[in-house]
């Protein structure tokens, strides 16, 4: 799910340490300022989300991320349905908790982000 630019996006994630998760990944040049702005709303965001989140400013890097992870092996086919349900519910909760906040950061939608018909439904 892409937000106001390609540089701020929600997406599911899997990690080598047998975890799955959902992230709000911020890779714009002003990622640290955006991260700090969102972090200032941390109590309200986590209340809206319904769980504590993992706030990763990633010092020394351009990007920052806000995430939630669950111990789960993405290769485990027996539990794949439960993993997808967990991911889907967390993606929806990320949208509820972050969508309006990120949109309010006054970022412009890049016209190149629209599809060939001009549809921007995947953006935001």
**pLDDT above 80 for 53:** yes
d(CA 44, CA 41): 5
Task: Please give the DSSP secondary-structure letter assigned to residue 86.
Answer: H
Q: Is 29 helix (H, G, I), strand (E, B) or coil?
A: coil
Average pLDDT over residues 98-107: 81
Alpha helices (H) along 40-108: 42-49, 80-103
Looking at 1-15, 34-48, 95-109, which range is the least confident one? Answer: 1-15
pLDDT interval class at 14 (50, 70, 90) = confident
Cβ contacts of 7 within 8 Å, gap of 6 or more: 26, 27, 28, 31
**Domain 2-106 falls in which CATH fold?**
Yope Regulator; Chain: A, (3.30.1460)
**pLDDT above 70 for 55:** yes
**pLDDT above 80 for 5:** no
pTM summary value: 0.77
The predicted pLDDT at position 6 comes to: 62
pLDDT interval class at 110 (50, 70, 90) = very low
Instruction: Sketch the domain layout of the chain as residue ranges.
Output: 2-106
């Amino acid at each position: 799910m892409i937000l106001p630019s390609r540089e701020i996006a929600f997406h599911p994630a899997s990690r080598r340490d047998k975890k799955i998760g959902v992230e709000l990944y911020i890779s714009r040049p002003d990622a640290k300022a955006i991260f700090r702005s969102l972090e200032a709303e941390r109590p309200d965001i986590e209340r809206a989300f319904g769980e504590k989140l993992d706030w990763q400013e990633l010092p020394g890097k351009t990007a920052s991320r806000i995430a939630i992870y669950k111990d789960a092996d993405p290769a485990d086919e027996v539990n794949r349905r439960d993993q997808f349900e967990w991911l889907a519910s967390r993606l929806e909760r990320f949208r509820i908790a972050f969508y309006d906040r990120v949109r309010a950061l006054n970022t412009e939608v890049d016209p190149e982000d629209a599809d060939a018909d001009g549809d921007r439904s995947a953006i935001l």
